[in-house]
A and B are shown apart, each in its own frame.
Chain A
């Protein structure tokens, strides 16, 4: 999808970033080249998957600078050959040589048994690219590098480049990509807080609304009204009673009519039931509503208390459990969270219908986006002119880079 120039620039940027970060990787975390190579392989695989980089070109282009000065493009291939030659103790190497794609399957088997030396190191390197195997492979990889410090790195990079395209087809696709960097923007806490706050608000709302939904709550409210009406129909002196109708005790004192007493008694019983229900039933009400979500998020809803459900919810969704646990103590918000989830999609849909689609909807997938720096922006009446530079355009699924751009718009 990308033009060759764009692809080359991207490849150069990747290489530049990787090279310039190498010192930091080695110095700081002790993570070293292994992780860095993982990063590069993953990054390139995503780029190829996104169509922003043309696969084969990138490999040669990226590897050349990485290996350093003396090696021209052909020598890169030479590296592969002697490397393979060392491995050629057995037939599987031949498999490795000819088709790049079958590398994945033969690798694990060959890596374990044959030689611990250089041959193994590159193999796990390629194996590293899949998401799950990273940590294990990297650890193994480190051990081997200790024996042969220089070569394994080179081999690994070579393998990554050669293995990258292969891995992309396999590894990159199956994993649905997460939304950008929860840890960068600290989105997980933010999201939780937002949902949590909203939950509180709605929780309060529902605390008020809930009685209306419950049978008990609805019944007393209706009967209160009935009570109020007869009071009005009876002697006019009851007007203050109407005011006191809200308080049952007052009604009891004031109203001595038998019929009313029965009604009031019933009302009182129901009120008591309500009061009991407030503590016990709120979770019950919450229970049925969140069930579908809970089933998805977490099965262990044995507890009526929502705190447990929240923990599960948090754990499932976000990597950091500690932050998540903080919001759990309040049970009501949790129920609300599930409810909120129901409400939110409706709101989002509503927004989509609005004219805001141009601003907001475009941002996600279909957006044609230009990221640039502006030198000058001028306006003459309704005519706007702007000069941009150093921009990246994503237009019709193509990435286009420009050094300068001039825009002329009619407002």
Chain B
């Protein structure tokens, strides 16, 4: 199963990375095992988002930068307004990084 490493930049991914980093540097954990954990995180996070999340969000704003490189879209949106059923947030600068969903199904 193909996975994205994309979600490693999220809060949960960064926390895991820091944890693994500390454990590897202290010698408790081998780097190989730590990488396996990260790969498993990629899978688990992707599955959880598919199966457990049902919310929809709309994003509107001024597109400051768009970039499409290596099948990854990057948008930098200014004065963004995010809405969902639960919340509405205004953000001055927001970065969107999106991988091609079709790559996972292949």
A residues touching B (Cβ–Cβ < 8 Å)?
3, 5, 8-10, 12-14, 16-17, 20-21, 24-25, 28-29, 31, 35, 38-39, 42-43, 46-47, 50, 52, 131, 134-135, 138, 175, 177-178, 180-184, 319, 358-359, 362-363, 367-375, 377, 384, 386, 388-396, 398-411
| Contact between chains at B98 and A402 (CB < 8 Å) | no
| Contact between chains at A180 and B100 (CB < 8 Å) | no
Q: Which of B59, B100, B101 contacts A408 (CB 8 A)?
A: B59
| Contact between chains at B56 and A368 (CB < 8 Å) | no
Instruction: Please give, as numbers and ranges, the residues of chain A lying within 8 Å of B50 by CB-CB distance.
Output: 390, 403
Q: How far is the CA of A182 from the CA of B101 in the complex (A)?
A: 29
Instruction: Please give, as numbers and ranges, the residues of chain B lying within 8 Å of A407 by CB-CB distance.
Output: 58-60, 75, 77, 96
Chain B residues with a Cβ closer than 8 Å to the other chain, count? 80
| Contact between chains at A20 and B15 (CB < 8 Å) | no
Known contacts A371-B97, A373-B101; 11 further A-B pairs (Cβ under 8 A): A9-B52, A13-B45, A28-B32, A50-B15, A359-B65, A359-B76, A367-B95, A372-B6, A384-B63, A392-B12, A409-B59
Q: Which of A17, A181, A409 contacts B17 (CB 8 A)?
A: A181
| Contact between chains at B10 and A392 (CB < 8 Å) | yes
| Contact between chains at B63 and A411 (CB < 8 Å) | yes
Q: How far is the CA of A319 from the CA of B101 in the complex (A)?
A: 38
Q: Which of B18, B21, B23, B99 contacts A38 (CB 8 A)?
A: B23
Q: How far is the CA of A35 from the CA of B23 in the complex (A)?
A: 9
CB distance from B55 to the nearest CB of A (A): 5
Q: How far is the CA of A97 from the CA of B66 in the complex (A)?
A: 56
| Contact between chains at B56 and A403 (CB < 8 Å) | yes
CB distance from B10 to the nearest CB of A (A): 4
List 15 A-B residue pairs with CB atoms under 8 Å apart, sorted by A's residue number. A43-B16, A46-B18, A47-B12, A178-B25, A184-B17, A368-B91, A369-B9, A370-B97, A377-B68, A384-B66, A384-B75, A390-B53, A392-B12, A403-B56, A406-B58
| Contact between chains at B53 and A20 (CB < 8 Å) | no
Q: State the main secondary structure of chain A at its contact with B.
A: mixed
Instruction: Please give, as numbers and ranges, the residues of chain B lying within 8 Å of A17 by CB-CB distance.
Output: 16, 37, 40-41, 44
Task: Please give me the residue from chain B that is nearest to A407 by CB atom.
Answer: B59
| Contact between chains at B22 and A178 (CB < 8 Å) | yes
Task: Please give me the residue from chain B that is nearest to A355 by CB atom.
Answer: B64
CB distance from A224 to the nearest CB of B (A): 53
Instruction: Please give, as numbers and ranges, the residues of chain A lying within 8 Å of B93 by CB-CB distance.
Output: 358, 362, 367-368
| Contact between chains at B29 and A401 (CB < 8 Å) | no
Task: Please give me the residue from chain A that is nearest to B60 by CB atom.
Answer: A408
Task: Please give me the residue from chain B that is nearest to A41 by CB atom.
Answer: B19
Q: Which of A184, A370, A398, A410 contacts B95 (CB 8 A)?
A: A370
| Contact between chains at A409 and B75 (CB < 8 Å) | yes
Instruction: Please give, as numbers and ranges, the residues of chain A lying within 8 Å of B32 by CB-CB distance.
Output: 28
| Contact between chains at A46 and B63 (CB < 8 Å) | no
Q: How far is the CA of A137 from the CA of B85 in the complex (A)?
A: 47
Q: How far is the CA of A367 from the CA of B76 in the complex (A)?
A: 11
Q: How far is the CA of A47 from the CA of B29 in the complex (A)?
A: 20
Instruction: Please give, as numbers and ranges, the residues of chain B lying within 8 Å of A319 by CB-CB distance.
Output: 25
Instruction: Please give, as numbers and ranges, the residues of chain B lying within 8 Å of A14 by CB-CB distance.
Output: 12
Instruction: Please give, as numbers and ranges, the residues of chain A lying within 8 Å of B61 by CB-CB distance.
Output: 409-410
| Contact between chains at B28 and A409 (CB < 8 Å) | no
Q: Which of A46, A358, A403 contacts B53 (CB 8 A)?
A: A403
| Contact between chains at B36 and A370 (CB < 8 Å) | no
Q: How far is the CA of A25 from the CA of B10 in the complex (A)?
A: 24
Q: Which of A184, A368, A384 contacts B21 (CB 8 A)?
A: A184
CB distance from B59 to the nearest CB of A (A): 4
| Contact between chains at B48 and A178 (CB < 8 Å) | no
Instruction: Please give, as numbers and ranges, the residues of chain B lying within 8 Å of A392 by CB-CB distance.
Output: 7, 10-12, 45, 49
Tell which of A178, A182, A393, A396 has the most Cβ of chain B within 10 Å: A393
Q: How far is the CA of A373 from the CA of B3 in the complex (A)?
A: 11
Task: Judge if B106 is at the interface, Cβ distance under 8 Å.
Answer: no
Tell which of A13, A182, A375 has the most Cβ of chain B within 10 Å: A13
With A395-B82, A395-B89 in contact, do A9 and B53 touch (Cβ < 8 Å)? yes
